[in-house]
Amino acid sequence: MHRDSKIYVAGGQSLIGAALLGELESQGYGNLLGKYTEGLDLTDPSQVDAYFATTKPEYVFLAAGKSGGIEANRKYPADLMRDNLLTGCHILHSAFQHRVKKLLYLASSCSYPKHCPQPMKEEYLLTGLLEPTNEAYALAKIAGIKLCQAYRRQYGAPFLCGIPGNTFGPGDDFSGDDSHVIPGLIRRMHEAKQKKAPSFLIWGTGAPRREFIFSRDLAEACILVMNEYDEAEPINLGMGSDISIAELAMLLKEIIGFRGEISFDSSRPDGMPVKILDSGKLRNLNWKPRTSFRKALEETYQSFLRSEEKQDRGARTEIKLLTADRRPRPAEGRARTGDRRP
């Protein structure tokens, strides 16, 4: 990519998409698309094709598609699968039709089998059954990988596939039960701190081990891959270290300042027992994360605090406006001060 190349980040409002736009801009890429596309429905083929026809992007980062944590996958499997299938199909086809120079499709580490050998290598895809709690979402992401490869095999389309680890960072979805593990824990533990709760309950046993990657570091890796990688096989995009959910909870407890006890509900699902990526291909491109895990968690927590403060300000402003709107007004036709007649 050249600094003046026209680059489209599909899903620019998502966690990864926003990080990509920010990192591209910081590296001097100035011709960026995808930041203001709120009205564009990526599940509608006519809208997607019209967007490509109008904007004519040269490079595409496909970071779009709905996602969520274990609870969201349990409650909305059809929504997650449909959205990711349609989004992937339409963007890939339009990118091919409009002769995009290169496209990077971002899948998910949950695409690997539940009992996959660890660390997970790219060739382990489709070698076993998926984790049931996120099977629908994972199948949609696998379909995206295979569709990229099919376009490449049949038409020579320059489509790449990256498989990120569990991504977190500023601007994450902190909504609670439906969010991913780190933003979900941040919100709930912060609320427990405010309430001075004596204990904090976490779903599952706390034993599963996960690899997380900071969104800004992932964005750097994606840009490097777009510029330096050109293979049909996917490339893992991982940080290179892992942590148990219990260890993560204790680290967040320190950062947030929660003083209660941490406990675990073993009746709730754990998800995959271990999920660690073998990112040897990425390391061979001379990439390594620049942000320590603790520093990344601290930045993410500060982002959460800023978003909460912004919401509080918005709520206070709304209350003031409502209060002002309820003040009594002079009745129509009633004489007002300074307008009295004898």
Q: What is the pLDDT of residues 131-187, one digit of tens each?
A: 998 999 999 999 999 999 999 999 999 999 999 999 999 999 898 666 788 999 999
Encoded amino acid at 6, one letter:
K
Percent of the chain as helix, strand, coil, to the nearest 5:
45, 15, 40
CB 304 within 8 A of CB 187: yes
Tell me the mean pLDDT in the region 208-219.
Answer: 96
pLDDT over 80 (residue 5): yes
pLDDT at 287: 96
Which sequence positions are flagged as catalytic?
Answer: 137
State phi, psi for 240 to the nearest 5 degrees: 100, 5
State phi, psi for 60 to the nearest 5 degrees: -135, 130
Mark residue 293 as left, alpha or beta (left: phi above 0; alpha: psi -120 to 50; beta: remaining). Answer: alpha
Tell me the mean pLDDT in the region 83-112.
Answer: 97
Q: Using pLDDT thresholds of 50, 70 and 90, give the confidence band for residue 274.
A: confident
DSSP letters for 277-325: B--HHHHTTT---SS-HHHHHHHHHHHHHHHHHHHHHHHHHHHHHHHHH
Look-up: residue for tokens 């599963």?
208
Of 188, 180, 186, 213, nearest to 69 by C-alpha is 180
Tell me the mean pLDDT in the region 12-29.
Answer: 96
pLDDT at 342: 36
pLDDT over 60 (residue 101): yes
> What's the rounded Cα separation, in Å, for the pair 118 and 314?
46
pLDDT at 333: 45
Q: Which residues of 292-324 are buried (b: 16+ CB within 10 A; e: fewer)?
A: ebeebbbbbbebbeeeeeeeeeeeeeeeeeeee
Of 242, 281, 270, 251, nearest to 118 by C-alpha is 242
Q: What's the half-sphere exposure (Cβ side, CA atoms, 13 Å) at 127? A: 10
Mark residue 327 as left, alpha or beta (left: phi above 0; alpha: psi -120 to 50; beta: remaining). Answer: beta
Q: For the chain, give the percent of residues with pLDDT over 90.
A: 80
CB 82 within 8 A of CB 88: no
Encoded amino acid at 253, one letter:
K
Q: Using pLDDT thresholds of 50, 70 and 90, give the confidence band for residue 322.
A: low
pLDDT over 70 (residue 241): yes
pLDDT at 27: 97
Q: Using pLDDT thresholds of 50, 70 and 90, give the confidence band for residue 310.
A: confident
Q: Using pLDDT thresholds of 50, 70 and 90, give the confidence band for residue 94.
A: very high
Q: Using pLDDT thresholds of 50, 70 and 90, give the confidence band for residue 329.
A: low
| CA 79, chain centre distance (Å) | 16
> What's the rounded Cα separation, in Å, for the pair 276 and 273?
10
CB 103 within 8 A of CB 261: no
Q: For the chain, give the percent of residues with pLDDT over 70.
A: 90
Q: What's the mean per-residue pLDDT of the chain? A: 91
Lowest mean pLDDT among 13-22, 56-65, 182-191, 331-340: 331-340
pLDDT at 71: 83
Longest dimension (CA), the chain: 95
Look-up: residue for tokens 């997650």?
80
Look-up: residue for tokens 């120079």?
101
> What's the rounded Cα separation, in Å, for the pair 124 and 262?
35
CA distances from 322 to 217, 313, 314, 317, 332 (A): 43, 14, 12, 9, 21
Q: Which long-range contacts (CB under 8 A, 24 or more apart) does 77-81 make?
A: 77/135, 77/136, 77/137, 78/136, 80/136, 80/137, 80/140, 81/136, 81/137, 81/139, 81/140
pLDDT over 90 (residue 123): yes
Which domains are assigned to the chain? 7-317 (3.40.50.720)
CB 179 within 8 A of CB 72: yes
pTM of the predicted protein model: 0.88
